[in-house]
Amino acid sequence: MKKIVFFFTVTCSLFTLGQNLPKGFVYLSDIDKTIQKEVRYFSNNNFIGKRIDGYHKNRVIITEKTAISLKNVQQVLLKKGLSLKIFDAYRPQQAVDHFVRWAKVLKDTLMKKEYYPNVRKSELFKRGFIASKSGHSRGSTVDLTIVNSKTGIALDMGSPYDFFGEESHPSYKKSTQNQQKNRLLLRNIMMKNNFIPYSNEWWHFTLKKEPFAETYFNFPIN
Protein backbone atom coordinates (compact mmCIF):
# COMPACT_ATOMS: atom_id res chain seq x y z
CA MET A 1 0.00 0.00 0.00
CA LYS A 2 1.37 3.41 -0.92
CA LYS A 3 2.13 5.54 2.12
CA ILE A 4 0.42 8.94 2.11
CA VAL A 5 2.13 11.91 3.74
CA PHE A 6 0.03 14.87 4.85
CA PHE A 7 1.20 18.45 5.40
CA PHE A 8 -0.58 20.57 8.01
CA THR A 9 -0.16 24.33 7.53
CA VAL A 10 -1.67 27.19 9.54
CA THR A 11 -1.09 30.91 9.51
CA CYS A 12 1.02 32.66 12.13
CA SER A 13 -1.84 34.93 13.17
CA LEU A 14 -3.69 32.03 14.80
CA PHE A 15 -0.83 31.37 17.19
CA THR A 16 0.55 34.78 18.12
CA LEU A 17 -0.69 34.45 21.69
CA GLY A 18 0.98 31.07 22.09
CA GLN A 19 -2.26 29.45 23.19
CA ASN A 20 -4.05 27.71 20.31
CA LEU A 21 -1.91 24.72 19.53
CA PRO A 22 -3.28 21.89 17.38
CA LYS A 23 -5.04 19.21 19.37
CA GLY A 24 -2.54 16.80 20.85
CA PHE A 25 0.26 19.37 21.19
CA VAL A 26 1.40 21.19 24.35
CA TYR A 27 4.05 23.55 25.60
CA LEU A 28 6.49 21.34 27.50
CA SER A 29 6.65 23.87 30.34
CA ASP A 30 2.94 23.28 30.98
CA ILE A 31 3.71 19.62 31.68
CA ASP A 32 7.07 19.98 33.45
CA LYS A 33 8.61 23.33 34.37
CA THR A 34 11.84 21.77 35.67
CA ILE A 35 13.10 20.59 32.28
CA GLN A 36 15.72 23.03 31.04
CA LYS A 37 15.83 24.34 27.47
CA GLU A 38 18.08 26.08 24.99
CA VAL A 39 16.21 26.18 21.70
CA ARG A 40 19.18 26.54 19.36
CA TYR A 41 17.18 27.38 16.25
CA PHE A 42 15.72 30.44 18.00
CA SER A 43 19.29 31.75 18.33
CA ASN A 44 22.38 32.24 16.18
CA ASN A 45 24.11 29.31 17.90
CA ASN A 46 23.37 26.64 15.32
CA PHE A 47 24.94 25.19 12.17
CA ILE A 48 23.55 27.99 9.97
CA GLY A 49 24.49 30.85 12.30
CA LYS A 50 21.17 32.69 12.33
CA ARG A 51 17.65 32.25 13.70
CA ILE A 52 15.69 29.66 11.72
CA ASP A 53 12.35 30.29 10.05
CA GLY A 54 9.35 29.46 12.24
CA TYR A 55 11.15 29.87 15.57
CA HIS A 56 9.69 33.05 17.05
CA LYS A 57 10.14 32.29 20.76
CA ASN A 58 12.41 30.24 23.00
CA ARG A 59 9.66 27.74 23.73
CA VAL A 60 9.42 23.97 23.45
CA ILE A 61 6.36 22.55 21.74
CA ILE A 62 5.83 18.79 21.61
CA THR A 63 3.00 16.27 21.46
CA GLU A 64 1.33 15.72 24.81
CA LYS A 65 2.24 12.02 24.85
CA THR A 66 5.91 12.89 24.33
CA ALA A 67 5.80 15.56 27.01
CA ILE A 68 4.45 13.09 29.56
CA SER A 69 7.22 10.61 28.74
CA LEU A 70 9.84 13.37 29.09
CA LYS A 71 8.38 14.27 32.48
CA ASN A 72 8.85 10.65 33.56
CA VAL A 73 12.50 10.77 32.46
CA GLN A 74 12.99 14.02 34.32
CA GLN A 75 11.64 12.63 37.58
CA VAL A 76 14.31 9.92 37.51
CA LEU A 77 17.11 12.35 36.68
CA LEU A 78 16.16 14.90 39.35
CA LYS A 79 16.74 12.25 42.03
CA LYS A 80 20.33 12.03 40.74
CA GLY A 81 20.83 15.81 40.76
CA LEU A 82 20.50 15.89 36.99
CA SER A 83 18.08 17.35 34.45
CA LEU A 84 17.10 17.08 30.83
CA LYS A 85 17.97 20.01 28.58
CA ILE A 86 16.07 20.41 25.33
CA PHE A 87 17.73 21.73 22.17
CA ASP A 88 14.85 21.12 19.78
CA ALA A 89 11.49 19.38 19.74
CA TYR A 90 8.64 20.14 17.32
CA ARG A 91 10.16 21.75 14.21
CA PRO A 92 7.97 23.51 11.63
CA GLN A 93 8.29 22.36 8.02
CA GLN A 94 9.27 25.93 7.15
CA ALA A 95 12.39 25.48 9.30
CA VAL A 96 13.28 22.30 7.41
CA ASP A 97 12.80 24.23 4.16
CA HIS A 98 15.20 26.87 5.53
CA PHE A 99 17.82 24.16 6.07
CA VAL A 100 17.37 22.92 2.50
CA ARG A 101 17.74 26.42 0.99
CA TRP A 102 20.86 27.05 3.08
CA ALA A 103 22.46 23.74 2.07
CA LYS A 104 22.23 24.72 -1.59
CA VAL A 105 24.20 27.95 -1.03
CA LEU A 106 27.64 26.38 -0.98
CA LYS A 107 29.51 29.62 -0.20
CA ASP A 108 27.63 30.14 3.08
CA THR A 109 29.93 28.31 5.49
CA LEU A 110 29.80 30.69 8.47
CA MET A 111 29.61 27.90 11.08
CA LYS A 112 31.63 25.22 9.29
CA LYS A 113 34.52 25.24 11.77
CA GLU A 114 32.24 24.55 14.72
CA TYR A 115 29.59 22.25 13.26
CA TYR A 116 30.95 20.46 10.17
CA PRO A 117 34.74 20.95 9.96
CA ASN A 118 35.41 17.62 8.26
CA VAL A 119 32.44 17.52 5.87
CA ARG A 120 32.09 19.39 2.60
CA LYS A 121 28.88 21.38 2.48
CA SER A 122 28.16 19.90 -0.94
CA GLU A 123 27.93 16.46 0.71
CA LEU A 124 25.38 17.33 3.40
CA PHE A 125 22.42 15.96 1.42
CA LYS A 126 24.19 12.84 0.23
CA ARG A 127 25.41 11.97 3.70
CA GLY A 128 21.99 12.50 5.27
CA PHE A 129 22.77 15.51 7.45
CA ILE A 130 20.15 17.61 5.63
CA ALA A 131 16.84 16.28 4.27
CA SER A 132 13.63 17.73 2.86
CA LYS A 133 11.55 16.25 5.67
CA SER A 134 12.24 15.75 9.38
CA GLY A 135 10.64 13.56 12.01
CA HIS A 136 10.71 16.63 14.25
CA SER A 137 7.87 18.10 12.18
CA ARG A 138 5.62 15.24 13.31
CA GLY A 139 5.91 16.56 16.86
CA SER A 140 7.24 13.55 18.77
CA THR A 141 10.99 13.76 18.16
CA VAL A 142 13.28 15.59 20.55
CA ASP A 143 16.95 16.61 20.67
CA LEU A 144 18.34 16.78 24.19
CA THR A 145 21.14 16.19 26.64
CA ILE A 146 21.65 15.81 30.39
CA VAL A 147 22.90 18.62 32.63
CA ASN A 148 23.56 19.21 36.31
CA SER A 149 20.20 20.34 37.67
CA LYS A 150 21.75 23.11 39.81
CA THR A 151 24.62 24.43 37.70
CA GLY A 152 23.20 23.71 34.26
CA ILE A 153 26.57 22.31 33.17
CA ALA A 154 26.13 19.58 30.57
CA LEU A 155 27.57 16.10 30.90
CA ASP A 156 30.43 15.47 28.46
CA MET A 157 28.92 13.64 25.50
CA GLY A 158 32.02 13.79 23.33
CA SER A 159 30.67 16.04 20.59
CA PRO A 160 28.54 19.19 20.47
CA TYR A 161 24.85 19.08 19.67
CA ASP A 162 24.22 19.10 15.90
CA PHE A 163 27.83 18.25 15.05
CA PHE A 164 27.95 16.73 11.56
CA GLY A 165 30.35 13.83 11.80
CA GLU A 166 30.90 10.31 13.04
CA GLU A 167 31.88 11.74 16.44
CA SER A 168 28.14 12.22 17.04
CA HIS A 169 27.30 8.55 16.49
CA PRO A 170 26.23 7.03 19.83
CA SER A 171 28.64 4.13 19.31
CA TYR A 172 31.65 6.26 18.29
CA LYS A 173 34.69 4.15 19.17
CA LYS A 174 37.05 7.00 20.03
CA SER A 175 34.86 8.43 22.80
CA THR A 176 36.41 8.39 26.25
CA GLN A 177 35.09 6.02 28.88
CA ASN A 178 33.31 8.91 30.61
CA GLN A 179 31.73 10.12 27.38
CA GLN A 180 30.50 6.61 26.59
CA LYS A 181 29.08 6.33 30.10
CA ASN A 182 27.18 9.62 29.72
CA ARG A 183 25.81 8.69 26.31
CA LEU A 184 24.70 5.32 27.65
CA LEU A 185 22.97 6.99 30.60
CA LEU A 186 20.96 9.19 28.24
CA ARG A 187 20.20 6.37 25.83
CA ASN A 188 19.10 3.89 28.49
CA ILE A 189 16.85 6.26 30.39
CA MET A 190 15.16 7.43 27.21
CA MET A 191 14.62 3.90 25.93
CA LYS A 192 13.14 2.83 29.27
CA ASN A 193 10.57 5.58 28.80
CA ASN A 194 9.39 4.58 25.32
CA PHE A 195 11.82 6.51 23.12
CA ILE A 196 13.66 5.15 20.10
CA PRO A 197 17.27 6.34 19.65
CA TYR A 198 18.79 7.39 16.32
CA SER A 199 21.97 5.66 15.20
CA ASN A 200 23.73 8.79 13.87
CA GLU A 201 23.04 11.30 16.68
CA TRP A 202 23.42 10.72 20.41
CA TRP A 203 20.92 13.51 21.20
CA HIS A 204 18.03 12.44 18.93
CA PHE A 205 15.05 10.35 20.15
CA THR A 206 11.54 9.65 18.84
CA LEU A 207 8.57 8.47 20.86
CA LYS A 208 7.38 4.93 20.12
CA LYS A 209 3.95 4.84 18.46
CA GLU A 210 4.05 8.59 17.85
CA PRO A 211 0.52 10.02 17.48
CA PHE A 212 1.09 11.78 14.14
CA ALA A 213 3.33 9.31 12.33
CA GLU A 214 2.29 10.47 8.83
CA THR A 215 1.65 14.18 9.39
CA TYR A 216 4.25 16.91 8.97
CA PHE A 217 3.11 20.14 10.66
CA ASN A 218 4.05 23.70 9.74
CA PHE A 219 2.66 25.97 12.44
CA PRO A 220 5.23 28.40 13.92
CA ILE A 221 6.68 28.34 17.41
CA ASN A 222 5.20 31.30 19.29
Residue 50 lies in a domain: yes
- Provide the residue range defining the domain that includes 122: 6-217
Assign 15 a pLDDT band (cuts: 50, 70, 90): very low
Going edge to edge, which strands form the sheet with 201-207? 36-37, 82-88, 141-148, 201-207, 195-198
70 inside domain: yes
For residue 11, name the pLDDT band (cuts at 50, 70, 90): very low
Q: What is the pLDDT of residue 9?
A: 45
Q: How far apart are CA 130 and CA 221, in angstroms?
A: 21
CATH number at residue 178: 3.30.1380.10
Looking at residue 143, its amino acid is D
**Eight-state DSSP code of residue 51:** P
pLDDT category at 8 given cuts 50, 70, 90 is very low
- pLDDT tens digits along 71-107: 999 999 999 999 999 999 999 999 999 999 999 999 9
- In Å, how far from its chain's centre is CA 73? 16
pLDDT digits (tens, 9 = 90+) for 190-211: 999 999 999 999 999 999 999 9
pTM given for the model:
0.90
- Is the pLDDT at 180 greater than 50? The verdict is yes
The reported pLDDT for the residue numbered 101 is 98
pLDDT of amino acid 17? 47
Average pLDDT (162-179) is: 96
Active site residue 201: yes
222, part of any domain: no
Q: Please indicate, yes or no, if residue 139 is contained in any of the structural domains.
A: yes
According to DSSP, the β-strands at 141-148 and 6-8 are unpaired
* Count: domains in the chain: 1
Residue 21 placed within a domain = yes
* 1 inside domain: no
Specify if 151 maps to a domain. yes
List the catalytic residue out of 38, 64, 201, 210.
201
Share of residues in the chain with pLDDT > 90 (%): 91
- What pLDDT digit, counting tens, does each position of 32-74 carry? 999 999 999 999 999 999 999 999 999 999 999 999 999 999 9
Q: Is residue 129 part of a domain?
A: yes
